[in-house]
Amino acid sequence: MTLSKSYATVLICLLACLGGCNERDARPQISNARIVLPPPGMGMAAGYFELSNPGRSPLRLRSVGSAVFSSVEMHETLSENGLSQMREMKEAEVPPGGSLRFEPGGKHLMLMGGPGSPEAEEAYTMTLDIVDANGNTQRVEAHFKVEHADNTHAH
């Protein structure tokens, strides 16, 4: 009888988990996060990363923020009629089980009003606001490794 109660308890827990605990436990993952600082006096920095969605519902990246940069905007580079244009994105969707890449020549972060000195930290923390299918927002912090566009000040 003890064995059957244990079996029943395990079965109930498994069924409950299949009904939704995986979705709650499936937190978005951020990888390859880096900021490329321009040479001194050259203006804006760029941010790149990959956001993975291990869940079963789409996620929306609504915004990215930073205490170091006065403004962070999501942009996308598009090619139209042979011309490359950059457009601001209000949000970006991450499909279930998929990922979203911010990389050179595509989606990227424009980071304005950041450190004016080439002597930057090795990494900066950025906060991503991610909205799930139910409209709930979770704030995910990520450490972005700093790289220098001219590589003369690389750490």
Q: What is the 3-state secondary structure (H, E, C) of 39-98?
A: CCCCCCEEEEEEEECCCCCCEEEEEEEECCCCEEEEEEEEEECCEEEEEEECCEEECCCC
Strands 123-131 and 99-102: unpaired
Are 58 and 94 a contacting pair, CB within 8 Å? yes
Single pTM value for the model: 0.77
> What mean pLDDT value characterizes the chain?
82
Residue bearing tokens 């011309």: 83
Most confident of 2-16, 20-34, 82-96: 82-96
pLDDT value of position 81: 84
- The DSSP secondary-structure symbol of 152 reads S
